[in-house]
Structure 1
Amino acid sequence: MNKHSVGSKNRNLGFTLIELMIVLVIAAILAVVAYKFYVSYVGSAQNSHAKATMLETTQPMPPHYVAHSKYRGQPSVLLLGVRTRSSSTVADQSA
């Protein structure tokens, strides 16, 4: 038997370092692409949730404003410098 033919059998049993590194690079590229899609998906889901929450919160506001001439839970501190119906500012009224 030839020595080279016996030795070549043992060399084909495993992977070389280059082959393993190529597989790791491909896996890393796929992970980066998947992560970008995941972040985009989570961001759009959070935006949808925020829009739904804001819509749910603001729907009862116009009928309450029509009935009471103010928004529910409206602090007067936020109205400083805003003209009211009496044409004076809230800051002038509180002073």
Structure 2
Amino acid sequence: MKSDLKVKYLQFLLGKKKDSNEGFTLIELLVVVIIIGVLAAIALPNFLNQTAKAKQAEAKTTMSQVNNAQALHRNTNNDFAGDMSTLALGLPTVTANYTYNVIGGDDTAGIKATAANSAMKGYRGGNAFFKDGNSNSVIATVACEADVAGTGDPDYPDLDTTQTTLETAAACGTNFKSVK
């Protein structure tokens, strides 16, 4: 390419100015809004599910602490505590997420966590003191999570002191599964 042609071409490119009225068209903006809407529709349910799981962790932790305290109380006092205050854990019976009810007596104890809103699952747990097949004293402990979310009363687990195995002395029952 001749040098004067190169110079003229560069002058042409440098002299070309953008139109000051350029911008996004309505169609381009509409496409962007639709894409953001689709992404939000996908992400929002996942976000809400994760917040419910975080709130449910409160119930699992409380239930575990109460079950452990009940087993310790039974070993120390030869009976289970009848309420949360007797366990002296300093845990509330009502929080923003759950309402906790504790029962206990001679050989069984139970806890239930009723969800405050329908996005969270209910929980129930308990302890049963029994004699195994070798006549050894054993405390069976169970923690159960509802299969579906809801604010229904989870009731107490199936506790049977006449059984001789851990699995049958304390069981979750129907519509609940064991949690670790």
Taking structure 2 as the reference length, what is the TM-score of the superposition? Answer: 0.32
Q: Contact (CA 8 Å) 1:61, 1:71: kept in 2 or not?
A: yes
Alpha-carbon distance in structure 1 between the residues aligned to 2:45 and 2:79:
48
Which protein is richer in helix relative to its size?
Answer: 1
**Alignment match of 2:62 (pick from 53, 66, 72):** 53
Which protein is richer in strand relative to its size?
Answer: 2
Per the alignment, residue 71 of structure 2 pairs with 62
How far the C-alpha of 1:15 sits from its partner, in A, is: 1.3
How far the C-alpha of 1:35 sits from its partner, in A, is: 1.2
Identity of aligned residues (%): 29
Query: In the alignment, residue 79 of structure 2 is paired with which amino acid?
Result: S
**Alignment match of 1:37 (pick from 43, 46, 64):** 46
How far the C-alpha of 1:11 sits from its partner, in A, is: 9.4
Higher relative contact order by CA 8 Å / sep ≥ 6: 1 or 2? 2
- How many residue pairs get aligned? The number is 68
- Residue by residue, what CA displacement relative to the aligned partner does 1:44-83 show, whole Å, maximum 9, x if unpaired? 111222101111122111232352434243589xxxxxxx
Runs of 4+ in 1 over 4 A off after TM superposition: 9-12
Per the alignment, residue 34 of structure 2 pairs with 25
Alpha-carbon distance in structure 2 between the residues aligned to 1:75 and 1:62:
11
How far the C-alpha of 1:20 sits from its partner, in A, is: 0.5
Please tell me whether Structure 1 or Structure 2 has the larger radius of gyration of its CA atoms. 1
Taking structure 1 as the reference length, what is the TM-score of the superposition? Answer: 0.55
SS of 1:47 mapped into structure 2: helix
